[in-house]
C-alpha cells in the first residue's frame, strides 16, 4: 500500500499507474449513510449531512435552513478523466454493495473526511470481499490522519489534490486544463416545514476555482491539506478563465448565481477585478456567494463588491484578541454593518475555545460575536485536526486527548484536546449557548436575510449600472411576496416567545409591503397562515426526532456496458 502526499504527486511515477490505464473502470463513492443517527460506523445525530443545520442554524428549530450538497471532489475527478466512471453519492451500505457486484470495477475510489474514517474502513472491507480484484484508492481529508495506513485496508491513500493524482494513475495527461463539472450547489432545500420547489436555474451553480488557502491559519485543515502557508492549487488562474467557466455554467444550468467554492476568493484581487471587467463587457448581472477573510474584503470598496455581484459572504470573525493575520486592521463589526447595508448577506464564523478563552471571558467574547448581527452565524469549537500545524503543536505539548473517537471530532461536540482553562464538558455548553444566544438576540436567519435584501434593494434599485439594478430587482421580484409571507408567519410565531423580535419582524414586513408589487403585497394574506401551519407542524416533527438524509445519486460517464 502506498501513501501519496502533495509533494510526491508532483513527480510522475510509472509504478503508480494502473495496468489498464484509462481503460480501467472506476467507481468513486462518498461514504455511506444514513448520517443523522448514532451508529457503530461513526454516524452521529448531531452531525447530519447538512451545512446549515449542522453548524449554522441548528438552534433555529423549524426556521433552520436545511439543504444538501453533493460531494464535489469526486464530481471534479470524474469530469477530468476519460476512463469509464461511476460516481455514487450518499449510498447506503446496500447501495454500495449492489454497485460493487453489479459491475466489474478495476478501481474503487472512496472519498472521505476525518470524521468518517470508520465508514472508510468498512467500505474497504466490503470491497475486498465483494470485488477482490479492485484496487482501492482513498482520498480526501481522511488521508491526513496519522497512521491511516494501519487503520484501513487500501492500496493507495492520496493526500492533497486528487484530479492530477488520478490522471497520473490512469496514465492520462496531468497538465490538461481542468474541465469544470456542472454542479447545482444545493438540493432538497427545506425551511419552515416546506420543501422548496426545484426549478431549473433557481439554485446557484457551484464553481471551484481552487483548493487550499495560502494564508495558513494554524487550525485550518483545508489550507494544510493542499500545501499549507503560501501554497494552494489553482484550477482557474485568471479572471478570464473564471469568466469562461461561469459563462459555460450559465448556459448549461441556466443560472445567474454562483456559489464560489474558493477558501478566500477575494484575496486574489487581480482575478476578481478582471472577472468584473469581463462581466461588465458582457452585461452579466451575476450573483456570487463567496468565502473571504476580513483583510481580503477590505481590499475592495463596497461598490466594487456590489458590482462583482457579491451577495453572500462567509467571513471568519474569530476574536479580536486572537491575532490572526486575516483579521489585521479589520473592525469586523463595522465591516459587517456596512456590508449588510449594501445588500450583502454576511455569514460570520466564530471559534469557541481559542487559547485565550476562559470561563470568565468567554461569555463576553460570544456576546461580541453575536453583536455583529450577521445574517447567519457559524460557531465551531477550536479543534486541532490531524495534518494542521495546531495539531502538531498540541501533540508535541502532550495536550491531545487520547480516547476521543474521530467520529466525534467535528467541532460541534466537545474539545478533543486539553484546553488551558475550559473543561471538555464546558466546551459543549459554551458552544450550545452561543447558538442559542445568536438566535434569541437576532431572530431567525430567514428574517435577517430578508432585511439585508431590502437594504440592498432600497439602495440600488435606481443605481446607474443596469447590471446591479437588475440583480436586486430580480431577487426582489422573485422573493418579496414569499419573504412577506414568511415574515408574517415568523411575526405570529414569535409573538408569544419573543415579543421584541416579533415587533422587529413586523416592522420589516411593513417595509416589504411598501416596496413590493401589487401581487406580492397580496400573497402574505394567503401564504402566511399556510407557512405558520407548516412551521408549527415541523416543530412537532422535530420534537419527535425527525431527521433528514440526502438522496442517493448515481452518475456514469464515458460508460459502455462490459
Ligand atoms: C461542501 C462541504 C460539506 C458538505 C458535504 C459535502 C459532502 N457531500 O460530503 C456538508 C455541508 C454537508 C459538510 C459537512 C461537514 N463537513 Co464539510 N466541507 C465542505 C466544504 C465546504 C467543501 C468540500 C469541497 O467540495 N471542496 C472542493 C473539493 C474539490 O475539494 P475536496 O473535497 O477536498 O476534494 C479534493 C481532494 O481532497 C481530493 N479528493 C477528494 N476525494 C477524493 C477521492 C479520491 C479517490 C481521490 C484520489 C482524491 C480525492 O481530490 C479533490 C480534488 O482535488 C469543505 C471545505 C473545503 N474548502 O473543501 C468542508 C470540509 C470538507 N468539511 C469539514 C467538516 C469538518 C465537516 C463536518 C464534520 C462539519 C460540521 N461539524 O459541520 C460535517 C460532516 C458531515 C458528515 N456527516 O460527514 C472539514 C473536513 C476536515 C477534515 N480534516 O476532515 C472541511 C475541510 C471544512 C473545514 N475547513 O474544516 N461539508
Ligand atoms: S484565511 Fe480562512 S481559509 Fe485561509 S487559512 Fe485562514 S482559516 Fe483557512
Q: What is the pLDDT of residue 324?
A: 58
- The residue-averaged pLDDT of 138-146 equals 97
Residue 470 Cα to ligand 1 midpoint, Å, equals 34
Which stretches within 181-268 are classed as H helix?
A: 221-225, 239-253
- ∠ CA 384-389-390, rounded to 5°: 30
C-alpha–C-alpha distance, residues 480 and 519, integer Å: 10
Percent of the chain with pLDDT over 70: 95
Residue 113 Cα to ligand 1 midpoint, Å, equals 6
Q: Minimal CA–CA distance to 6: which of 116, 157, 176?
A: 157
Q: Please tell me whether the peptide bond between 34 and the residue prior to it is cis, using omega within 30 degrees of 0.
A: yes
Q: Which of 128-132, 330-334, 442-446, 493-497 has the lowest mean pLDDT?
A: 330-334
Name every residue whose Cβ is closer than 8 Å to that of residue 49 and which is 6 or more positions away in sequence.
33, 35, 36, 68, 90, 549, 550
- At residue 201 the predicted structure's pLDDT band, cuts being 50, 70 and 90, is confident
Q: Which of 12-26, 66-80, 207-221 has the lowest mean pLDDT?
A: 12-26
What three-state secondary structure class fits 439?
Answer: helix
Q: Which of 316-330, 384-398, 406-420, 493-507 has the lowest mean pLDDT?
A: 316-330
Q: Is the pLDDT of residue 70 over 90?
A: yes
Ligand nearest to the CA of 32: 1
| Residue carrying C-alpha cell 457503530 | 40
Pocket test for ligand 1, best of 18, 74, 140 (most atoms within 8 A of CB): 140
- The residue-averaged pLDDT of 345-362 equals 96
Q: Is the pLDDT of residue 202 over 90?
A: no
The residue ranking higher by pLDDT, 199 or 305, is 305
Residue 504 Cα to ligand 1 midpoint, Å, equals 37
Cβ burial, residue 290 (10 Å; 0-12/13-18/19+): buried
Instruction: Say if ligand 2 is within 6 A of residue 215 CB.
Output: yes
Computed on alpha carbons and rounded to an integer, the radius of gyration of the chain in Å comes to: 24
Counting from 1 in the atom list of ligand 2, the atom nearest the Cα of 267 is 1
Q: What are phi and psi of 232, to 5 degrees?
A: -170, 170
Q: Which three cell numbers stand for residue 243?
A: 469568466
Q: Which three cell numbers stand for residue 44?
A: 452521529
- The residue-averaged pLDDT of 412-429 equals 98
C-alpha–C-alpha distance, residues 377 and 380, integer Å: 10
- The residue-averaged pLDDT of 244-269 equals 95
Q: What is the pLDDT of residue 561?
A: 80
Q: Is the pLDDT of residue 240 over 70?
A: yes
Q: Are strands 187-191 and 66-68 parallel, antiparallel or unpaired?
A: antiparallel
Q: What is the pLDDT of residue 479?
A: 86
Residue 267 Cα to ligand 2 midpoint, Å, equals 11
CA separation (Å) from 98 to 92, 121, 556, 561? 10, 18, 15, 16
Counting from 1 in the atom list of ligand 2, the atom nearest the Cα of 223 is 5
Q: Is the pLDDT of residue 236 over 50?
A: yes
Tell me what the pLDDT averaged over the chain comes to: 94
DSSP letters for 105-144: -SEEEEE--GGGHHHHHHHHHHHHHH-TTPEEEEESGGGG
87-96: pLDDT as tens digits: 999 999 999 9
- The residue-averaged pLDDT of 110-139 equals 98
C-alpha–C-alpha distance, residues 184 and 379, integer Å: 26
Distance from the first to the final alpha carbon of the chain:
28
Cα-based torsion angle of the residue sequence 244, 248, 254, 258 in order, rounded to the nearest 10 degrees: -50
DSSP H or E stretch at residue 279: helix 269-282
DSSP letters for 467-497: HHHHHHHHHHHHHHHHHHHHHHHHHHHHHHH
Instruction: Say if ligand 1 is within 6 A of residue 166 CB.
Output: yes
Q: What is the pLDDT of residue 10?
A: 29
Q: Minimal CA–CA distance to 560: which of 106, 84, 22?
A: 84
Ligand nearest to the CA of 260: 1
Q: 3-state SS string over 46-59?
A: CCCCCHHHHHCCCC
C-alpha–C-alpha distance, residues 49 and 113, integer Å: 12
Amino acid at each position: 500500500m502506498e501513501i501519496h502526499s502533495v509533494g510526491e504527486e508532483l513527480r510522475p511515477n510509472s509504478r503508480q499507474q494502473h495496468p489498464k490505464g484509462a481503460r480501467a473502470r472506476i467507481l468513486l463513492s462518498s461514504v455511506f449513510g444514513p448520517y443523522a443517527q448514532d451508529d457503530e460506523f461513526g454516524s452521529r445525530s448531531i452531525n447530519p449531512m447538512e451545512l446549515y443545520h449542522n453548524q449554522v442554524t441548528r438552534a433555529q428549530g423549524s426556521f433552520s435552513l436545511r439543504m444538501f450538497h453533493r460531494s464535489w471532489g469526486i464530481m471534479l475527478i470524474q469530469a477530468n478523466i476519460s476512463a469509464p466512471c461511476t460516481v455514487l453519492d450518499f449510498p447506503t451500505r446496500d447501495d454500495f454493495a449492489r454497485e460493487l457486484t453489479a459491475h466489474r470495477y478495476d478501481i474503487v475510489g472512496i472519498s472521505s473526511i476525518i470524521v468518517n474514517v470508520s465508514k472508510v474502513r468498512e467500505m474497504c472491507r466490503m470491497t475486498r470481499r465483494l470485488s477482490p480484484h479492485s484496487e482501492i484508492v482513498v482520498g480526501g481529508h481522511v488521508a491526513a490522519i496519522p497512521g491511516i495506513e494501519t487503520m484501513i485496508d487500501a492500496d493507495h491513500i492520496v493526500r492533497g489534490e486528487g484530479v492530477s493524482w488520478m490522471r497520473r494513475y490512469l496514465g492520462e495527461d496531468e497538465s490538461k486544463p481542468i474541465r469544470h463539472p456542472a454542479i447545482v450547489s444545493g438540493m432538497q432545500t427545506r425551511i419552515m416545514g416546506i420543501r422548496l420547489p426545484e426549478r431549473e436555474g433557481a439554485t446557484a451553480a457551484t464553481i471551484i476555482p481552487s483548493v487550499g488557502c495560502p494564508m495558513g491559519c494554524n487550525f485550518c485543515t483545508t489550507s494544510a491539506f493542499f500545501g499549507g502557508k503560501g501554497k494552494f492549487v489553482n484550477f482557474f488562474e485568471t479572471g478570464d478563465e473564471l469568466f469562461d467557466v461561469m459563462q459555460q455554467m450559465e448556459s448549461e444550468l441556466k443560472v445567474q448565481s454562483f456559489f464560489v467554492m474558493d477558501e478566500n476568493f477575494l484575496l486574489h484581487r487581480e482575478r476578481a477585478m478582471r472577472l468584473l471587467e469581463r462581466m461588465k463587457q458582457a452585461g452579466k448581472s451575476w450573483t456570487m456567494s463567496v468565502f473571504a477573510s476580513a483583510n481580503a474584503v477590505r481590499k475592495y470598496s463596497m461598490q466594487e463588491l456590489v458590482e462583482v455581484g457579491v451577495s453572500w459572504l462567509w467571513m471568519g470573525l474569530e476574536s479580536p484578541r486572537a491575532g490572526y493575520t486575516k483579521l489585521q486592521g479589520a473592525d469586523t463589526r463595522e465591516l459587517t454593518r456596512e456590508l449588510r447595508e449594501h445588500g450583502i448577506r454576511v455569514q460570520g464564523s466564530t471559534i469557541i475555545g481559542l487559547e485565550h478563552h476562559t470561563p470568565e471571558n468567554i461569555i463576553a467574547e460570544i456576546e461580541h460575536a453575536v453583536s455583529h448581527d450577521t445574517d447567519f452565524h457559524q460557531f465551531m469549537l477550536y479543534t486541532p485536526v490531524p495534518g494542521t500545524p495546531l495539531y502538531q503543536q498540541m501533540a508535541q505539548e502532550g495536550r491531545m486527548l487520547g480516547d476521543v473517537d474521530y467520529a466525534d471530532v467535528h467541532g460541534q461536540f466537545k474539545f478533543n484536546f486539553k484546553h488551558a482553562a475550559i473543561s471538555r464538558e464546558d466546551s459543549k455548553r459554551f458552544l450550545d449557548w452561543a447558538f442559542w444566544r445568536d438566535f434569541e438576540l437576532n431572530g431567525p436567519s430567514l428574517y435577517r436575510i430578508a432585511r439585508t435584501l431590502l437594504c440592498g434593494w432600497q439602495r440600488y434599485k435606481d443605481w446607474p449600472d443596469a447590471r446591479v439594478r437588475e440583480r436586486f430587482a430580480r431577487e426582489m421580484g422573485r422573493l418579496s411576496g414569499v419573504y412577506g409571507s414568511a415574515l408574517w408567519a415568523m411575526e405570529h410565531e414569535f409573538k408569544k416567545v419573543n415579543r421584541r423580535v416579533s415587533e422587529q419582524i413586523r416592522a420589516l414586513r411593513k417595509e416589504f409591503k411598501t416596496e413590493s408589487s401589487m401581487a406580492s403585497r397580496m400573497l402574505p394574506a394567503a401564504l402566511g397562515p399556510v407557512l405558520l401551519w407548516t412551521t408549527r407542524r415541523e416543530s412537532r416533527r422535530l420534537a419527535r426526532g425527525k431527521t433528514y438524509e440526502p438522496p442517493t445519486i448515481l452518475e456514469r460517464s464515458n460508460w459502455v456496458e462490459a
